[in-house]
Amino acid sequence: MAVELRRVTKIYGNGAVKIVALDDVTLSVEAGEVIVLMGPSGSGKTTMLNIIATLDRPTSGEVYIMGTDVGKLPEGRLERFRLRNIGYLFQSFNLVPYLTAEQNVALPLMALGVKKELALLRARALLEYVGLEKAATLYPHQMSGGMQQRVAIARALATNPPILILDEPTSNIDLENAAVVLGLIAVTNKLMKTTVFVATHDPDVARIATRVIYMRGGRVYEAIEPPRRELKIDIDRALSAYEKLKRIDELLGL
Ligand SMILES: Nc1ncnc2c1ncn2[C@@H]1O[C@H](COP(=O)(O)OP(=O)(O)OP(=O)(O)O)[C@@H](O)[C@H]1O
């Protein structure tokens, strides 16, 4: 099992004002699934993603990521665990403004101790994978929102994590870029066997789901019938970039 939540509750606040953001959630997700989380604002989607990403801890309950009970990991080991296992795409692109695209993508690898030159080599291959090989030396302010989002996806994939988490990946970009981003997520799930979690208000995103989970008031309700995959994806370009990535991975031992 890639991710398992057992009776997870998250309560924000204390004293008189308490908000139950997650209410006794139990969920098992197998490797290779694409889970799309939908539901009204405030229903707990981001809270769930943050807890799976180990960026936040539950008030009670257990969280297993790739078989590890993350509640038992000491803070000191959590960052490395997160770097190796979780790619996270935040709601806003969150790129470092004074670093180029390739430097942004190389960051998580360098945080793991990979030498700069090798990290940049993989970063450039990842930028090719997301179709931005020509933008490697551009700064975020020189790129459109859609391009920044693709750089952010490349960065989320930097350490070859088994789990990819995306919060509203299409909400701040135009329709055309949204289709590219969805295609990339679907291709990544197929090629890299990445387990994917996406929170979204965009019904289009459900097209890449293997399972749609509706949330309401911190509880989960699974969709009775997941929508069919009907995205047309240009897999050839991604495939050739992926072959190159794999060779670099062998070099890096990722
Ligand atoms: N750091 C926090 N402190 C206090 N309350 C919080 C915090 N984070 C979230 N909440 C509350 O927890 C509940 C769930 O919020 P969450 O952001 O997980 O919902 P969401 O479904 O992601 O919403 P949206 O679609 O608007 O992003 C909301 O009532 C929210 O106000």
Domain assignments of the chain as residue spans, ordered by start: 31-50+75-252
Report how far residue 191's alpha carbon sits from residue 244's, in angstroms, rounded to the nearest whole number. 13
Closest ligand 1 atom to Cα of 13: 4
46 pocket-lining for ligand 1 (C-beta < 6 Å): yes
Tokens of 130: 């997301």
Class of domain 31-50+75-252: alpha beta
15 CA from centroid of ligand 1 (Å): 18
154 CA from centroid of ligand 1 (Å): 27
Closest ligand 1 atom to Cα of 22: 14
96 pocket-lining for ligand 1 (C-beta < 6 Å): no
Report the SS3 class of residue 153.
Answer: helix
106 CA from centroid of ligand 1 (Å): 31
Q: What is residue 57's predicted lDDT score, i.e. its pLDDT?
A: 94
10 pocket-lining for ligand 1 (C-beta < 6 Å): no
Closest ligand 1 atom to Cα of 168: 27
Q: What is residue 177's predicted lDDT score, i.e. its pLDDT?
A: 85
Closest ligand 1 atom to Cα of 199: 22
42 pocket-lining for ligand 1 (C-beta < 6 Å): yes
47 pocket-lining for ligand 1 (C-beta < 6 Å): yes
Closest ligand 1 atom to Cα of 47: 18
Strand stretches in the chain, DSSP E? 3-12, 19-29, 34-38, 60-65, 68-69, 86-89, 163-167, 195-199, 211-216, 219-222
The model's pTM: 0.91
The alpha carbon of 77 is separated from its chain's Cα centroid by a whole number of angstroms, namely 20
Phi and psi of 175, rounded to 5°? Answer: -60, -40
Print pLDDT tens along the chain (254 aa). 999 999 999 999 877 889 999 999 999 999 999 999 999 999 999 999 999 999 999 999 999 999 999 999 988 899 999 999 999 998 877 899 999 999 999 999 999 999 999 999 999 999 999 999 999 999 999 999 999 999 999 999 999 999 999 999 988 888 888 888 888 898 899 888 999 999 999 888 888 899 999 999 999 998 766 666 666 566 666 777 777 778 777 777 77
202 CA from centroid of ligand 1 (Å): 18
| Torsion angle defined by CA atoms of residues 75, 78, 79 and 84, in that order, rounded to the nearest 10 degrees | 170
Ligand 1, atom 28: closest residue by C-alpha: 42
How many other C-beta atoms can be found within 10 angstroms of the C-beta atom of residue 31? 13
Q: What is residue 226's predicted lDDT score, i.e. its pLDDT?
A: 63
Closest ligand 1 atom to Cα of 49: 18
44 pocket-lining for ligand 1 (C-beta < 6 Å): yes
231 CA from centroid of ligand 1 (Å): 31
